[in-house]
């Protein structure tokens, strides 16, 4: 089998940069753009992205990660390097290809995985096999579940919902896993991981047993854990359950409480900030109102992309979700990721809107990525939140109309949206502390 065949079995859907026989042709040769698109694929796409410069193949699941480095002389060594990187949570690996990638090799065994990501997992001990149903082990009680993006990448959302129902455990989903439960589900205890006091307000504490399912290290910033009194070098009440073992353990895990899941303060505090702001009609728009307008205007099957920063924080926090996976929130990222992720989805035929800060929209990589999208005839919207646009967007209704027009027109549409962050952001900080994600 060729290198391309091997990569596809490892979960790589495509490579950017120089072509590899047997992999879908992206046609993106520019190295900077190829790298950025691969970063987007790893962060909010398939969970694993790849770019090839003709000599070095970089496989990544985390933008900006320092990759593990190796020289490979066969496709089998590529498999070994990627499997090791996945097992070790290396985030990325850079492989010098010292063989003909188009040459056929002998059959290679590639271990099957539901989630191809190389991202580092939360360093928590795994739930003991002695607790598995049918082994005669005791029931084990937990206070809540902390659920991360692997649940979505592994297509295990229904399994997670069934597990919550079977165990009566409430679920705090991380900011990378929006929409796992309906907002009014009794098992939904809120979305956490963005602000300093999120975990404390959600009910995490050193004396409360917590079950982590599909959680990556970047999704649990250390500052938030320490704020809740939890630290790897101190009291650590978290144990990990692999996504593919949810059904197996459903009969041997239960909630500590007898009644419905107990909601912490996080949900209500954030609700008290967001709900009044959703109803305001003032222009400049407040960020919660602007986010709600996007949700109401989003075509069926379309996605919203964002990147670290104040704009991304508000989208991740306040945009109502009606479709699982409709908001692509990276656990880690960098400037340019929002537009790159929108281009990535547009290449797949999915409508997308990238929401960026107005003063970052003219960044060289963003401009180059928009030009790439135009040259390919892609359909996507770039919404620039900032000071401009008040002459066109004079109300939330006008904002929604402008969004609807941009989606209906097709091609690359760049729109300026007047948004004032200050007062609403001050209230958000007062409710749950400063932004602490993406550090």
Structure tokens at 290: 């602007």
Contacts of 176 (CB under 8 A, 6+ apart): 148, 149, 193, 216, 219, 329, 330, 331
Integer Cα distance of 370 and 350 in angstroms:
16
Can you give the pTM of this predicted structure?
0.94
**129-263 placed in CATH 3.30.1330.60:** no
pLDDT at 109: 86
Structure tokens at 287: 């960020």
Ramachandran angles phi, psi of 276, nearest 5°: -65, -35
Integer Cα distance of 187 and 175 in angstroms:
16
Are 277 and 319 within 8 A, CB to CB? no
Integer Cα distance of 235 and 144 in angstroms:
17
- The segment(s) of the chain belonging to CATH 3.40.50.970 are 268-432
Structure letter (DSSP) for residue 137: P
Ramachandran angles phi, psi of 39, nearest 5°: -60, -45
pLDDT at 129: 64
Nearest to 365 by CA among 15, 35, 51: 35
| Strands laid side by side in the 303-305 sheet | 327-328, 303-305, 352-357, 380-386, 412-418
Are 51 and 40 within 8 A, CB to CB? no
Peptide bond into 271 cis (omega under 30): no
- pLDDT of 73-111, one tens digit each? 999 999 999 999 999 999 999 999 999 998 877 788 888
- The segment(s) of the chain belonging to CATH 3.40.50.1220 are 129-263
Point out which residues pair with 386 in neighbouring strands: 418
Positions in the chain whose pLDDT score sits under 50? 133-135
pLDDT at 135: 47
Could you tell me how many residues make up the chain?
A: 439
pLDDT at 152: 94
SS3 86: helix
Q: What is the longest distance spanned by two Cα atoms in the chain?
A: 69
What CATH architecture does domain 268-432 belong to? 3-Layer(aba) Sandwich (3.40)
């Amino acid at each position: 089998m060729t290198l391309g065949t091997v990569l596809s079995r490892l979960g790589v859907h495509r490579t950017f940069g120089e072509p590899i026989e047997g992999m879908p042709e992206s046609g993106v040769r520019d190295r900077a753009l190829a790298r950025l698109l691969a970063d987007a694929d790893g962060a909010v796409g398939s969970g694993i992205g790849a770019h090839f410069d003709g000599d070095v193949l970089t496989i990544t699941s985390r933008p900006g990660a320092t990759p593990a480095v190796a020289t490979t002389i066969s496709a089998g060594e590529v498999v070994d390097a990627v499997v090791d990187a996945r097992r070790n949570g290396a985030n990325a690996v850079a492989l010098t290809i010292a063989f003909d990638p188009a040459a056929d090799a002998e059959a290679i065994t590639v271990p099957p995985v539901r989630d191809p990501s190389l991202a580092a997992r939360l360093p928590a001990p795994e739930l003991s096999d002695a607790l598995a149903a049918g082994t005669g082990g005791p029931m084990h009680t937990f206070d809540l579940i902390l659920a991360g993006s692997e649940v979505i990448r592994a297509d295990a959302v229904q399994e997670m919902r069934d597990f919550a129902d079977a165990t009566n455990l409430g679920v705090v989903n991380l900011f990378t896993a929006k929409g796992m439960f309906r907002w009014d589900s009794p098992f939904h205890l809120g979305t956490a991981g963005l602000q300093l006091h999120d975990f404390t307000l959600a009910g995490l504490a050193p004396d409360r047993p917590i079950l982590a399912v599909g959680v990556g290290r970047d999704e649990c910033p250390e500052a938030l854990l320490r704020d809740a009194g939890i630290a790897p070098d101190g009291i650590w009440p978290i144990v990990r359950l692999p996504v593919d073992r949810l059904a197996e353990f459903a009969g041997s895990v239960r909630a500590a409480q007898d009644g419905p899941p107990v909601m912490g303060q996080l949900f209500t505090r954030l609700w008290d900030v967001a709900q009044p702001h959703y109803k305001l009609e003032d222009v400049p728009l407040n960020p919660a109102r602007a986010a709600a307008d996007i949700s109401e205007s989003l075509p069926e099957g379309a996605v919203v992309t964002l990147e670290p920063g104040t704009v991304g924080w508000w989208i991740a926090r306040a945009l109502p979700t009606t479709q699982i996976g409709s908001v692509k929130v990276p656990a880690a990222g960098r400037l340019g990721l929002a537009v790159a992720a929108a281009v990535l989805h547009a290449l797949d035929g999915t409508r997308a809107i990238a929401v960026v800060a107005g003063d970052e929209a003219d960044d060289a990589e963003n401009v180059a990525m928009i030009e790439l999208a135009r040259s390919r005839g892609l359909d996507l919207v770039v919404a620039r939140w900032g000071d401009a646009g008040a002459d066109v967007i004079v109300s939330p209704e006008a904002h929604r109309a402008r969004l609807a027009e941009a989606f209906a027109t097709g091609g690359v549409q760049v729109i300026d949206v007047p948004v004032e962050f200050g007062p609403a952001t001050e209230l958000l900080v007062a409710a749950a502390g400063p932004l602490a994600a993406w550090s």
